Amino acid sequence: MSTAIHIENLSVTLKGKEVIKNINFALEEGHFLGIVGPNGGGKTTLIKTILGLISPSAGTVRIFGQTPELLLGKKVIFGYLPQHLNIDPNFPASAIDIVLMGRYKKAGIFRWPGKKDREKA
């Protein structure tokens, strides 16, 4: 197996404050990692740095051997869903509607999902 994420001596400073200091770890391909900690502990900053959305102040991040900046705009297998405090409880979509959104690429953007799409969802 290859190393999916390799972080070495990573530090991140935001607005003059060191948020992450000297983190080291490697995540092998096919494994999962859970990140837990208190609010303001740097979890989101770490994820954003891995994705290349924030630049580290020191250290390196490698994803399958490449820096995150080299992967931006390329087909990758990472997803990121940011957290938001404001949620609309009246969001007009059911669970099946959300799942069917994953079928749009196959069905085409101007087509409604058909019976087969609904069965798969």
Whether residue 42 is contained in a domain is answered as: yes
Q: Are both 52 and 102 inside the same structural domain?
A: no
Length of the chain: 121
Q: Are both 62 and 23 inside the same structural domain?
A: yes
Q: Are both 52 and 93 inside the same structural domain?
A: no
Q: Are both 25 and 66 inside the same structural domain?
A: yes
Q: Are both 34 and 67 inside the same structural domain?
A: yes
Alpha-carbon separation of residue 92 from 30, 57, 97 (angstroms): 35, 42, 9
% residues pLDDT > 90 (the chain) = 31
Q: What is the DSSP letter of 40?
A: T
Mean pLDDT of 14-40: 91
Q: Are both 50 and 23 inside the same structural domain?
A: yes
Q: Return the CATH number at 52.
A: 3.40.50.300
Whether residue 94 is contained in a domain is answered as: yes
Residue 19 vs residue 51, higher pLDDT: 19
Q: Are both 47 and 13 inside the same structural domain?
A: yes
Residue 86 vs residue 50, higher pLDDT: 50
Residue 15 domain boundaries: 3-71
Q: Are both 63 and 100 inside the same structural domain?
A: no
Q: Is the pLDDT of residue 20 over 90?
A: yes
% residues pLDDT > 70 (the chain) = 76
Are the C-beta atoms of 9 and 56 separated by less than 8 Å?
no
CB atoms within 10 A of CB 11: 15
**pTM value > 0.85:** no
Q: Are both 21 and 61 inside the same structural domain?
A: yes
Domain count, the chain: 2
Alpha-carbon separation of residue 99 from 65, 83, 115, 118, 121 (angstroms): 33, 20, 14, 9, 6
Q: What is the model's pLDDT at position 109?
A: 59
